Structure 1
């Protein structure tokens, strides 16, 4: 009996690192299976970016979805919005669909953690899924990732103008400036996020950000934008040769350096 073939898989989040990893490996590993865990609560820019990746690299992307949508799981969890301490969305809508996609097959999972990062990403507890870190092995850092994307013609996703991480439009890891800009860029999606905060029949209140509702946050819009712009100017002055996307990322990370769910944000 012949040995079962080992699968090679690479998860795309719609962010820069996983995309750069696809650029690096798509010719080296032609049998690579690319997947995107689709919560159906993503930014329009994310779907546009995935189409750009497919067109430039000539690859197929498997869109994986949970059998039940976000609203179902929200109801199961009693209306409790996901949060850094209760990341049920990542488990139910990202990790479980991925593990179903792999099944019992032996698989090598390629993860886009850079050499200049001190984190591991999502590593399955399943013994038949082996993680590998090509960027770390090749000692590639953020500047190398930007160069890979520019040279490929893919570039950065459009949302990098105002947001530094991929993920759902209502991701609780968004910084306050990113929430304000969501209201500017996609007022309909911001309004939907507000509805999730407000619609609880039992009278309890849950918020996406700690300590205030989205409407309270939006009322401080001018203050938040002004503070952000001052921080951008300081960062530009200290690092004049950095690209704008890198400046934005540095400023946002300085405001909140809590690591997001890395199954979503690579």
Structure 2
């Protein structure tokens, strides 16, 4: 098991990161116009109008919670006079709510994709792998959050330590190997999702129009009456030619 833990938590994260970076660069080089969601709004808009914002906005909250939980050490919250009970209560309430909202939004989008024939026909091969994997990642994370109610495991002393050690190129494999199975499953599925990211429609996340607020103004010109030039008469032209002679 020691070699398996090294492969999973010491090697796989860097392989997934390499595939993510190299795959994105390759996709940008050879399929730059493919950085899109391949929107199917023309086929059905009612469910998309509900499920799309619900999924995306709640996913932003989920990502923010992961950033706070994995990158902010426990000593920082202790220095801010935030007790462990307070921290876990807020994390459970906000993280659980965001997770439930994200799963609900994704369920609506999947229901729409399966129910509407035109949307179902537009589903690519990568979508058939991406959507189930994304659903499993969210469900595993939501299960891990719910398990913290009865499980005394503190992920900030285990999973977070392993995650931060990846940036120092000295992964703390032991910290992750001792984590509960649901946390290990959540991390493993997330790494697989990152490796698949460049080859799916998820790559559109890298095409966010961040420069839109500072872009130059677009100038529109009126299509009013055009200025027409009066045609020259034949007589006037002959008169000018005669005077020239």
For this structure pair, what is the TM-score category when the shorter chain's length is used for normalisation? under 0.3
Greater strand content: 1
- Please report the TM-score for the alignment, with normalisation by the length of structure 2: 0.27
